[in-house]
Amino acid sequence: MLDCAIIGGGPAGLTAGLYATRGGLQNVTMFEMGMPGGQITQSSEIENYPGFFEHDKTGMDFMDTWQKQCFHFGLKHEMKKVERVAKKGEYFTIYLEGGEEVEAKTAIVCTGSTPKRAGFKGEDEFFGKGVSTCATCDGFFYKNKPVTVLGGGDTALEEAFYLSNICSDVYVVHRRDEFRAAPPTLDRVMRKKNIHLITNSVIEEAVGDAMGLTGVKIKNNDGTITHMENTGLFVFVGHNVNNNVLKDEKGEFICKMNDWGQVIVDLSMKTSVSGLFAAGDMRIEAPKQVVSAAGDGSIAALQVISYIQEQQ
């Protein structure tokens, strides 16, 4: 019987493991289907994690020291995919790919979320080299420079607004002439002088060279193609929350979720199921940053320690 099963080994899961083991729990396993580190390992650089100020280091380098520290106090890692988590009586059963089952007193789910790709030419090639899905992470690299934003939802327009305070101009490309975003958000964006709305248009291609993105081709519904040079490209066309592990055999969620599939937690990262916690990008109102995911992981682990003490 595990004291705690941690599902997902990104910043939230690793930090939860560090705090749980260093806080005295003996039997803690983190189930991570790949190498630990999470999404940030795809990044070529990280500038906004306090205490880490080395410009020549990638996200992979950054997470390397995390692993050494987080495993130092006894956290175990099993490189296995979790199919689902179920509460049976007092305890949890963790169903692993291949049919194996593990019992745990508590579970912290930190499986993250994945930004959707729009599917234009060059998107994958230049992802992380000029094409981004995170304004907070990468906006600063375009200080006083123009950027292009793709999407017409709340995220695209809120992030366009955020970018407009850093960048010289923000060109919002949207495939229709009506916006999905809430009217007050659209109104706020329309009043900002350096945000320019380009409607009935899509990104035809992200263009670049070995150094990364150099520009974008924007195609209007009438067939006209505009080539925008020297711009960063931010894609906000929705997110997939990695929440399948929280579904039962019938496909129903075992804890309360919001309409967008994010886990509803309180400030202690408690879900609606006693002993089940969620942390990081998959929870409601997540800022989707390494520093906040790590913070969530630490909170969840401290709560797990208290929960186990209360049960004894």
Which residues are catalytically annotated?
134, 137-138
* Cα dihedral 107/285/302/10 (nearest 10): 60
In the complex with ligand NAP, the residue whose CB is nearer, 29 or 39, is 39
Near ligand FAD in 123-142, by CB under 6 A: 128, 134, 137
Which positions from 235 through 274 interact with ligand NAP, judged by CB under 6 A? 236-239, 260
Q: Does 129 bind ligand NAP (CB under 6 A)?
A: no
| Contact of residue 2 among ligand NAP, ligand FAD, none (CB under 5-8 Å per partner type) | none
In angstroms, what CA-CA distances link 293 with 78, 145, 156, 284? 21, 29, 22, 12
> Hey, which residues between 134 and 193 contact ligand NAP (CB under 6 A)?
150-156, 158, 175-176, 180
Distances (CA, A) of 104 to 56, 83, 95: 41, 15, 11
Q: What's the min distance (Å) between Cβ of 214 and ligand FAD?
A: 19
CB of 213 to ligand NAP, least distance (A): 17
| Site stretch for ligand FAD (CB under 6 A), options 3-11, 98-106, 146-154, 233-241 | 3-11
- The total of other beta-carbon atoms located within 10 Å of residue 111's CB is 28
Is the dihedral angle over the CA atoms 95, 286, 174, 233 positive or is it negative?
Answer: negative
Q: How far is CA 178 from CA 162, 199, 218, 289, in A?
A: 21, 8, 18, 30
Considering only residues 192 through 221, tell me which ones interact with ligand FAD, judged by CB under 6 A. Answer: none
The residue from 34, 54, 79, 119 that contacts ligand NAP (CB under 6 A) is: 119
Work out how close the CB of 309 gets to ligand FAD at its nearest, in angstroms, rounded to a whole number. 25
By the 10 Å C-beta count (0-12 exposed, 13-18 middle, 19+ buried), 259 is classed as exposed
| CA separation for the pair 6, 128 (Å, rounded) | 28
User: Which residue's Cβ lies closest to ligand NAP?
Assistant: 153
The site for ligand NAP, by CB under 6 A, has a size of: 19
31 within 8 A of 96, measured Cβ to Cβ: yes
Between CA 245 and CA 232 the distance in angstroms is: 35
Of 15 and 231, the one with the shorter C-beta distance to ligand NAP is: 231
Least Å distance between CB 170 and ligand FAD?
A: 19
Interface with ligand NAP in residues 200-219 (CB under 6 A): 202
Among ligand FAD, ligand NAP, none, partner that 281 touches (CB below 5 to 8 angstroms by kind): ligand FAD
Residue 134 binding result from ligand NAP, ligand FAD, none, given CB thresholds of 5 to 8 Å by partner type: ligand FAD
Measure the N-to-C terminal CA separation of the chain; round to a whole number of Å.
15
Nearer to ligand FAD, 44 or 221 (CB): 44
